[in-house]
Amino acid sequence: MTLLRRFIPLWFAFAALAGAQPLPVRGIHLPAPKPEDMPLALRFIQEALPKEGANLLILEFNYHVRYASHPEVVDADALSLDQVRELAAACRAANVRLIPMINLLGHQSWAKTTFGLLRSHPEFDETEGKYPDNQGIYCRSYCPLHPRLHAVLFDLIDELVDAAGADAFHAGMDEVFLLGEADCPRCRGKNRAELFAGEVQAVHDHLAARGKEMWMWGDRFIDGVETGIGKWEASENQTEPALRLIPKDVVITDWHYEQAHPTAAHFALSGFRVVSSPWRKTSVALAQLAQIRDVRAHSTAKNRDRMLGMLHTTWVGFAPFVQAYFKEGPPPGVEASESVQCFRELFRELRSSR
């Protein structure tokens, strides 16, 4: 018993130390800058990210790139491919991994604006011809079963990944509400979890064939009813069983903004690598970080290695966030101020274990 009493404190000390080791992923997600914000973007990458200890930047480009393969999908404020390469070069110089993103499946519109893919290819719409001015819906979705869809999407993905010199791609796929709709001649009556999983599998397989890793948001894999989390940060349209149908090498970015739901551990226990994503509540961000450190300290090596780290999100636009960070430009809005404060405090805590 004497030896055991001596061993137990040492074990807990070792576990605590293991939980406090630098996390493999210390990242931030931002929308791609507008062309006129390139100097600000390069400065943020070169100065702020190394200072804060960030080693990952996910830039959400969507259709704001002058794609040569399908110029018809290009939206306003598009960067040139050379500007994408310039951002990638700045990331490499700062020892920051750049993962480009196009939000796939859902989020193909916002308010009255339909984005480039469905604006130029309305035949890909899950609810083609319905909801004029996008009234009565949250965001449009494309139909994952349209026979000509993936030829276009994969061209865009390849062009963006190549310009970024990236080893991974973030496919988005959050908040998908229009799926398996009765208005779609291809999807009606089909199992929504299987439809969702099929699209994940298709994108994954295309990326894997090129040696690229797939990242995506995790909300559609959580049962919003059973957990009480609801339909935004989880699913209430029966997509959650898709988690059992997709490849285990997909990296899940698990976003929660109001409460630190313990879902990262759920993904790790299900066999997936996972990153927790807060937004503007510091208490939530630090609680998510504590959960990750706790699992890394007190669970098996498999689960420890699946809990990769943190990805801060912003959702206020590139320039407003970065200007608020540098304390420059016009007075920031409340959300920009809160997101910057959360970012600073989260990364201060992340650096404390370095």
Phi-psi region of 271 (alpha: psi -120 to 50; beta: other; left: phi over 0): left
**Is there a domain that residue 243 lies in?**
yes
User: For the CA atoms of 96, 268, 263, 257, what is the dihedral angle to 10 degrees?
Assistant: 0
As for how many domains the chain has, the answer is 1
From first to last of the 354 residues of the chain, give the pLDDT tens digit.
444 444 444 444 444 444 457 899 999 999 999 999 999 999 999 999 999 999 999 999 999 999 999 999 999 999 999 999 999 999 999 999 999 999 999 999 999 999 999 999 999 999 999 999 999 999 999 999 999 999 999 999 999 999 999 999 999 999 999 999 999 999 999 999 999 999 999 999 999 999 999 999 999 999 999 999 999 999 999 999 999 999 999 999 999 999 999 999 999 999 999 999 999 999 999 999 999 999 999 999 999 999 999 999 999 999 999 999 999 999 999 999 999 999 999 999 999 974
Per-residue pLDDT at 163: 98
Per-residue pLDDT at 230: 97
Beta strands in 24-72 (DSSP E): 25-31, 56-60
**Is there a domain that residue 11 lies in?**
no
**Is there a domain that residue 4 lies in?**
no
Sort strands 274-277 and 307-312 into parallel, antiparallel or unpaired.
parallel
| CATH for 158 | 3.20.20.80
**Is there a domain that residue 276 lies in?**
yes
Per-residue pLDDT at 21: 75
Bridge partner list, 312: 28
**Is there a domain that residue 160 lies in?**
yes
Q: Residue 108 sits in which domain range?
A: 23-351
**Is there a domain that residue 2 lies in?**
no
Dihedrals φ, ψ of 113, to 5°?
A: -95, 120
Phi-psi region of 175 (alpha: psi -120 to 50; beta: other; left: phi over 0): left
**Is there a domain that residue 210 lies in?**
yes
**Is there a domain that residue 8 lies in?**
no
